[in-house]
């Protein structure tokens, strides 16, 4: 595909956009995502002029152009394409938030609004509209590259933006022309250029130098992200992205001095963006001219040098203040660490005392347990002739009502094991017969059950005890085998 594209480019007499080399972007760039309107990252290409909208239309009419367009159009709806789309939206949101914080909503909404150079497919424009800022996209490849997202395209054309932007302004405009000297010399574009509140461009590539010249001459509010993967623009003396950024700042400083302005580009850092975090911003401070400078007189070199020296002094003061703040923060952190160490040292003896006290309490508890165990042990028989007289009486074993029932059954020749293996109804009949023939045993079992119940419930009623006593008296008067005793025994069993 790249060979065919080179052949097609030779047929038209100029270099065409390169084929996307994998990832979520165009050409070999992973962040700019351009298919060629401003990106010339195709391997081996040199700096070239931007293409016009007609040239893009001719390219899309070729088989290679259609294949590239369809590749992007088919890839965007995929999960990988949606991840790239969401990351581009997030990056655009970070840029817009920084612009609002730096320059203010009132300034950005003034005049003709913001100019977005190379804004295809409109992620930054959509975020500006979301904030109520009208925007104009200047990009000859707008809508031709196949990177348009359905949601973004629909949002850009939403008629509801007319009620959110400033009255009397058009929310969104797209101009399919390259931003070059031909564009700025066109009288139809003068009103847009002179009334623009700010200019923003993300990854403009070969258009970077012209944007620096134009904004330096007008001391115009500018936000620009240099392409971090277009290695062909890296300077030979320092072929890195950091070297590329330094070279751009040096060139901009030269342009500012040449045009007699005092608003150089400054390197900023974007927080929260998934791609490049380097941003070059320009804010008007002491501009001497608001018109196009090439048609007006400039300040002499002496005044420009003085202004540049003052600017450098201001930057040095800011750096010194930042260093002082860092030192103060470090000192504060050291003081906090020292205080924490002192507190730990003070708390250490107290913790040791607490541990010792806990150990003593545990030892005392063990001693008490040992004493109780010794007291619970049976008394040994003392020596001598009076041993038998000094021995205490053996305690009478106390049997529960149920134990007495089992003992009674065993005395009748019915062991407990046989009862346990019987059916529930058989066991009930046996107990009914026992309680009917032994009313006293039934009364004792019922009394024991009531005591257990009252102790569990935490209360005991005297009236209930008297009632049970009368019931037992009546039951005891019944002859053995009477129906009342059997009923009482059955009631107890059920309970």
Query: pLDDT digits over 84-97, tens only?
Result: 999 999 999 999 99
CA atoms within 13 A on the CB side of 337: 6
Residue 334's pLDDT is what? 85
At 10, give phi and psi (nearest 5°): -65, -35
Mean pLDDT (the chain, rounded):
75
Q: Residue 258 pLDDT > 50, yes or no?
A: yes
Non-local (6+) Cβ contacts of 212 within 8 A are 224, 248, 251, 252, 255, 265
At 334, give phi and psi (nearest 5°): -65, -40
- The β-bridge relationship of strands 266-269 and 172-175 is unpaired
The tokens describing 284, both together, are 């008007």
Residue 378's pLDDT is what? 52
Residue 155's pLDDT is what? 95
- Bridge partner list, 199: 115, 222
* Mean pLDDT score, 216-241: 92
Q: pLDDT-based confidence at 11, cuts 50/70/90?
A: very low
* Mean pLDDT score, 74-93: 93
Q: Please, are residues 134 and 169 in contact by the beta-carbon 8 Å criterion? A: yes
CA angle 74–274–271, rounded 5-degree value: 150
Q: Please tell me the distance from the alpha carbon of residue 333 to that of residue 267, in angstroms, as a whole number.
A: 29
Q: Residue 175 pLDDT > 90, yes or no?
A: yes
Q: pLDDT-based confidence at 176, cuts 50/70/90?
A: very high
Q: Please tell me the distance from the alpha carbon of residue 189 to that of residue 196, in angstroms, as a whole number.
A: 11
- What percentage of the chain has pLDDT greater than the value 70? 66
* Mean pLDDT score, 271-282: 90
Q: pLDDT-based confidence at 325, cuts 50/70/90?
A: confident
Q: pLDDT-based confidence at 419, cuts 50/70/90?
A: low
Residue 438's pLDDT is what? 74
Residue 207's pLDDT is what? 86
Q: Residue 344 pLDDT > 60, yes or no?
A: yes
Q: Residue 136 pLDDT > 90, yes or no?
A: yes
Residue 458's pLDDT is what? 61
* Mean pLDDT score, 370-377: 57
The tokens describing 273, both together, are 């963006």
Residue 430's pLDDT is what? 77
Q: pLDDT-based confidence at 489, cuts 50/70/90?
A: low
DSSP state of 133: -
Q: Residue 245 pLDDT > 90, yes or no?
A: yes
Residue 74's pLDDT is what? 92
Residue 60's pLDDT is what? 81
Q: Ranked by mean pLDDT, which of 61-75, 233-247, 337-351, 435-449 comes out on top?
A: 233-247
CATH code at 87-319: 3.40.50.150
Q: pLDDT-based confidence at 46, cuts 50/70/90?
A: very low
* Mean pLDDT score, 194-221: 94
Residue 372's pLDDT is what? 57
Give span(s): CATH 3.40.50.150, the chain.
87-319
- The β-bridge relationship of strands 113-117 and 196-202 is parallel
DSSP run (H or E) holding 117: strand 113-117
* Mean pLDDT score, 136-149: 89
The pLDDT tens digits of the residues spanning 425-450 come to 777 777 777 777 777 777 777 777 77
Q: Please, are residues 72 and 147 in contact by the beta-carbon 8 Å criterion? A: yes
Q: Residue 12 pLDDT > 60, yes or no?
A: no
Q: Residue 37 pLDDT > 50, yes or no?
A: no
DSSP state of 207: G
CA angle 37–43–45, rounded 5-degree value: 60
The pTM for the full model equals: 0.52
The tokens describing 361, both together, are 């309490």
Could you tell me which residue, 199 or 375, shows the higher pLDDT? 199
Q: Residue 58 pLDDT > 90, yes or no?
A: no
At 121, give phi and psi (nearest 5°): -95, 15
Q: Please tell me the distance from the alpha carbon of residue 20 to that of residue 418, in angstroms, as a whole number.
A: 91
Residue 488's pLDDT is what? 54
Alpha-helical regions (H) of 13-132: 53-61, 63-75, 79-103, 105-108, 123-130
Q: Residue 201 pLDDT > 60, yes or no?
A: yes
Residue 299's pLDDT is what? 32
The residue with tokens 């913001």 is 114
DSSP run (H or E) holding 257: helix 241-258
CA angle 196–53–291, rounded 5-degree value: 25
* Mean pLDDT score, 304-324: 69
DSSP state of 449: H
Residue 400's pLDDT is what? 64
Residue 493's pLDDT is what? 61
Residue 182's pLDDT is what? 93
Residue 460's pLDDT is what? 47
């Amino acid at each position: 595909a790249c060979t065919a594209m080179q052949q097609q480019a030779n047929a038209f007499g100029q270099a065409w956009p390169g084929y996307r080399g994998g990832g979520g972007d165009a050409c070999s760039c992973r962040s700019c995502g351009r298919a060629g309107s401003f990106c010339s990252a195709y391997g081996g290409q040199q700096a070239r002029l931007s293409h016009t909208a007609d040239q893009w239309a001719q390219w899309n009419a070729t088989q290679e152009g259609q294949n590239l367009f369809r590749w992007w159009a088919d890839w965007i709806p995929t999960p990988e394409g949606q991840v790239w789309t969401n990351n581009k939206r997030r990056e655009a949101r970070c840029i817009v938030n920084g612009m609002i914080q730096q320059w203010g909503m009132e300034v950005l909404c003034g005049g003709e609004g913001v100019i977005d150079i190379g804004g295809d497919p409109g992620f930054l424009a959509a975020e500006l509209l979301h904030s109520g800022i009208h925007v104009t996209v200047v990009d000859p490849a707008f809508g031709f590259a196949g990177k348009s997202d359905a949601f973004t395209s629909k949002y850009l054309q939403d008629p509801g933006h007319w009620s959110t932007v400033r009255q009397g302004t058009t929310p969104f405009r797209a101009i399919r022309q390259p931003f070059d000297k031909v564009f700025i010399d066109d009288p139809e574009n003068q009103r847009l250029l002179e009334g623009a509140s700010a200019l923003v461009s993300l990854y403009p590539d070969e258009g970077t130098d012209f944007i620096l010249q134009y904004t330096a001459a007008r001391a115009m509010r500018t936000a620009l992200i240099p392409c971090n993967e277009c290695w062909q623009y890296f300077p030979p003396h320092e072929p890195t992205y950091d070297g590329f950024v330094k070279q751009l700042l040096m060139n901009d400083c030269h342009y500012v001095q040449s045009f007699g302005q005092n608003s150089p580009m400054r390197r900023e850092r974007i927080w929260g963006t998934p791609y490049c975090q380097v941003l070059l911003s320009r804010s008007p401070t002491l501009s001497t001219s608001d018109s196009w400078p090439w048609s007006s007189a400039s300040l002499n070199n002496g005044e420009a040098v003085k202004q540049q020296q003052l600017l450098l002094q201001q930057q040095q003061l800011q750096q010194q203040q930042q260093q002082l703040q860092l030192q103060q923060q470090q000192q504060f952190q050291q003081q906090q660490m020292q205080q924490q160490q002192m507190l730990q040292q003070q708390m250490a003896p107290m913790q040791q005392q607490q541990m010792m006290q806990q150990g003593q309490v545990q030892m005392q508890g063990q001693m008490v347990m040992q004493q109780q165990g010794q007291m619970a042990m049976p008394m040994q028989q003392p020596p001598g002739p009076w041993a038998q007289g000094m021995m205490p009486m053996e305690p009478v074993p106390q049997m529960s009502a149920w134990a007495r029932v089992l003992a009674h059954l065993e005395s009748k020749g019915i062991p407990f094991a046989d009862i346990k293996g019987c059916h529930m109804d058989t066991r009930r009949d046996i107990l009914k017969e026992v309680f009917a023939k032994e009313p006293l045993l039934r009364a004792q079992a019922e009394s024991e059950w009531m005591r257990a119940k009252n102790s569990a419930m935490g209360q005991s009623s005297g009236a209930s005890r008297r009632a049970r006593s009368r019931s037992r008296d009546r039951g005891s008067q019944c002859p053995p085998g009477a129906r009342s005793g059997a009923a009482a025994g059955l009631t107890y069993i059920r309970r």
